[in-house]
Amino acid sequence: MLEVAESELTGESLPVSKGTAPVGEADMPLGDRTDMVYMNTSVTRGTGRVRGHRDRDGEPRVGHISGMLQAQPTVKTPLTRQLGRLSKQLLLVAVVSR
């Protein structure tokens, strides 16, 4: 049995068990594929043998994941918005108090 920590990709805190059985569906999300180990993830238990894989267009899977992440719109969180307002207020106070 092979277990891999994929928290860098999926955010899951527990390692994921991997196996050799191919995933049944071709359109299954990358994070749900238990027959694949991704670059920059850490093996936490067991041993295994892996081989490199590229998509049909020749792009590595990690490149595909990176592209999906970059395609997401940038969203400001409430904390980010509050910090922006606080920064403006501090700048205004600093300029007025000179």
Q: Which residue has the tokens 């999926």?
A: 10
Q: What is the pTM of this model?
A: 0.49
What confidence tier does 33 reach under pLDDT thresholds 50, 70, 90? Answer: confident
Asked if 65 and 30 touch (Cβ cutoff 8 Å), the reply is yes
Q: What's the confidence (pLDDT) of residue 91?
A: 94
Q: Which residues pair with 86 in a beta bridge?
A: none
CA–CA dist 48, 50 (Å, integer): 6
> Which has more pLDDT, 59 or 83?
83
Q: Determine the structural domain holding residue 28 and report its residue range.
A: 2-96
Share of the chain above pLDDT 90, in %: 24
> Domain tally for the chain?
1
